[in-house]
Amino acid sequence: MDWINRYIDEPLLSGAARTLRAWHAYTAQHPERLEPVWNLAMLSLLAIASRYILSGWPLVLSLAALFMLALPSVWKLVSSARTGAGGYDARRYKSLRARAISKREAEWSLRMTVLFVSAGLPFVTRIDEPVGAAFMGGACMWFVLTAPVKFYLEAAEPPTPDQGDRSPRGAFQLG
C-alpha cells in the first residue's frame, strides 16, 4: 500500500494541486470551477469526434447523451456565477481545504478503484455492432477523461486565495 501511495496517489494529488494553482493564477476563478470546465471541454471533444464517426440517428442519440452529461457541469458553472463571481477568500479556502483533507483521507480506496477501472475499462469493453462499439468507446473515453480528474481535484490541496495572483483579475473571465 505504501508503494501505491508513494508512486501513484501522491504524484497525482500533487499534480492536481499544481493544476488548481495554475487555474487560479491564470483565470482568477474559484478552484471548484475547474472540474466542470474540464468536463465540458472533454464532452466537446467527444461531440466533435462523434460527428466524424457517426451519422443519422446514432449521431443524434450520442449528441443527446453528451448534452445530458453536460447539464450538471453547466448548472454548476451557472449557479456558481449567480451566487458570487469573485468570492474566493480565506473562508472559502479553509472550507475547501478541510473538505479536501477529509476526502484525501477517507476516499483513498475509492480514488484507487476509479483510477484502476478507468485504466482497464477501454480494454474490457467489446461490442460487435459498429454503432454500439462507437457509443461504448465514447462512454469509456468520457469516464477515463473525467472520473479520475474529478476525484483527484476534489482531494487536492487548494491554492491559497492570493497564491500566484499577480493582478486582481486573471487572463480569462468565466461568469
pLDDT of residue 91: 86
Indicate whether 10 belongs to any domain.
no
Q: What is the pLDDT confidence band of residue 1, given thresholds at 50, 70 and 90?
A: confident
Indicate whether 69 belongs to any domain.
yes
Indicate whether 160 belongs to any domain.
no
Indicate whether 3 belongs to any domain.
no
CA distance 27 to 58: 37
Indicate whether 170 belongs to any domain.
no
Count how many domains the chain has: 1
> How many Å from the N-terminal Cα to the C-terminal Cα in the chain?
42
Nearest CA among 74, 72, 145, 110 for reference residue 137: 145
**Ramachandran angles phi, psi of 31, nearest 5°:** -60, -25
**With 90 as the cut, is the pLDDT of residue 63 above it?**
yes
Query: For residue range 31-60, what is the model confidence (pLDDT) as tens digits?
Result: 899 999 999 999 999 999 999 988 999 999
Indicate whether 136 belongs to any domain.
yes
Indicate whether 2 belongs to any domain.
no
Query: CA 148, 100, 98 angle in degrees (round to 5)?
Result: 170
Residue 68 lies in domain? 31-77+89-155
**With 90 as the cut, is the pLDDT of residue 134 above it?**
no
Indicate whether 163 belongs to any domain.
no
